[in-house]
Amino acid sequence: MEPYQPFEEICKGLAARPDAWARVRDGQNYMPLLPVLEHPYSLVVAQLFDRLIAAGLPRTEVERISLRELVVFALGGPLKWGWGENAVSWVEEGFPIDDRIASALERVAQDKRFPQRVRHRAFAAAKRWRRVHAAPLRSGVLRDLLPPRHHRARLVLLPGLDGTGILLRDFREALGRHRRTILVSYPTEPNLDYAALKGIAQFHLPRRKPFILLAESFSGPIAISIAADHPAGLRGLILTCSFARNPIPILAPLRPLIRMLPFRWAPVSLLAWPTLGRFGTPALRSQLGEALSRVSPSVIRKRLSAVVEVDVSALLARVDVPVLYLIASEDRLVPRSAADELTAIPHFRFAKIEGPHFLLQARPSAAAAHVEAFMREVEVDAMWRRSEPSG
């Protein structure tokens, strides 16, 4: 579509209206300059000042013009002729973003006077900038863009080594009642390997509802394998202190010794040291003891052996949904190298939380905040893609 006003006409019009030019020059009112937003950003930044000077305006006055203020002004509301949308287009074309521009874009995303397509484009631009600069989105932006509660994604939880889900109680409470969760519990038969447990997890996936998969530690390879199969409804993947293959390869030669580990007689305090560290409390140690009492030592040994042997790293590149990895700052079981390997996933990011390997247990509220923010972003992205015209 051709611009409403040719570039030369805009510049000559400003030169012919001293009062309007003075307001623009002094940053009082950018309305007369808004038509330049209809032209490509690259053209404007290359030619505007020269054209204004050629139209007869003093160079010293022209150099006081701020395109940044113009963009912020245009993003302030759904102005006539859609100049707010043009400002979003400039950002998409490469106009430099800072926190002020990002905040203006987020206000557009919340302003229902703008068309939905413009709100989603503004949200996406702000999110990209904040992700690169590790800056949080403004409070309320995602909330205002979310679908109705009954259309939101379910969170499917795959537990850690014990497989009971008992240790996820506090985390589920921290998520709150507004977020529906599906907890997968693994059977206690000792002959179930990763492939069999994957089948059990798949059985619990929603059939007609969108969902996000969260895997804790041991269950990471299961979740990665499921995501690589591209199941219908999967919107995202969250891995917590997890891995794609044996996170401590030097222990592989010691695999035969696993069957000799005395889990039945080991005190809970001993098992709490690598899993909870300094974050251990009587309540958490009690939960750990309860979870382990539900699972026979032979099952624990079987699953530890499976960890030593597993390797699903070849599947990482096939995971095409957004992935969030929660890193514990004081993880004594899974090293940072295990997370670095997962960067082979195309849409992958980290979030580091102060805590132990049992991150969801020791820091449930902090973990829930990251999970909820990620789920909201994924849901809004899904809405945005559905609203875009095909072709």
Percent of the chain with pLDDT over 70: 85
Tell whether 72 is covered by a domain: no
pLDDT value at residue 390: 45
Tell whether 7 is covered by a domain: no
pLDDT value at residue 283: 93
pLDDT value at residue 216: 97
Q: Using the predicted structure, report yes or no on whether residue 360 has a pLDDT greater than 70.
A: yes
DSSP per position, 233-269: TEEEEEEES--SB-S-GGGGGGGGGGGG--TTTS-HH
pLDDT value at residue 116: 82
Q: Which two tokens stand for residue 323?
A: 């992935």
Task: Tell me how far apart the terminal alpha carbons of the chain are, to the nearest angstrom.
Answer: 19
H helix intervals, 55-98: 59-62, 67-74, 83-93
For residue 15, the one-letter residue type is A
Give the best-scoring range by mean pLDDT among 100-114, 148-162, 224-238, 270-284. 224-238
Q: What is the mean pLDDT of residues 308-336?
A: 93
Q: Using the predicted structure, report yes or no on whether residue 65 has a pLDDT greater than 50.
A: yes
pLDDT value at residue 63: 82
Rounded Cα–Cα distance for residues 106 and 72 (Å): 12
CATH of the domain at 375: 3.40.50.1820
Tell whether 258 is covered by a domain: yes
Rounded Cα–Cα distance for residues 151 and 210 (Å): 8
More confident residue, 255 or 335: 335
Q: Enter the DSSP assignment of 351.
A: E
Residues 210-219 as b or e (16 or more Cβ within 10 Å = b): bbbbbbbbbb
Tell whether 173 is covered by a domain: yes
Q: Using the predicted structure, report yes or no on whether residue 3 has a pLDDT greater than 60.
A: no
Domain that holds residue 328: 149-387
Beta bridge partners of 240: 216, 326
Instruction: Report yes or no: 201 and 226 within 8 Å, Cβ to Cβ.
Output: yes
Rounded Cα–Cα distance for residues 108 and 103 (Å): 9
Tell whether 44 is covered by a domain: no
Give the best-scoring range by mean pLDDT among 101-115, 178-192, 321-335. 321-335
pLDDT in tens, 168-226: 999 999 988 778 899 999 988 777 899 999 999 999 999 888 999 999 999 999 999 99
CA angle in degrees (0–180, nearest 5) for 61-65-67:
165
Percent of the chain with pLDDT over 90: 35
pLDDT value at residue 42: 83
| Structural domain count of the chain | 1
Confidence band, pLDDT 50/70/90 cuts, at residue 391:
very low
Tell whether 357 is covered by a domain: yes
Tell whether 189 is covered by a domain: yes
Q: Using the predicted structure, report yes or no on whether residue 72 has a pLDDT greater than 60.
A: yes
pLDDT in tens, 247-281: 877 665 555 545 545 455 456 777 788 899 999 99
Rounded Cα–Cα distance for residues 190 and 257 (Å): 17
Tell whether 157 is covered by a domain: yes
Record the pTM: 0.65
Give the best-scoring range by mean pLDDT among 55-64, 143-152, 326-335. 326-335
Residues 300-334 as b or e (16 or more Cβ within 10 Å = b): bbbbbebbbebebeebbeebebbbbbbbbeebebb
Q: Using the predicted structure, report yes or no on whether residue 386 has a pLDDT greater than 80.
A: no
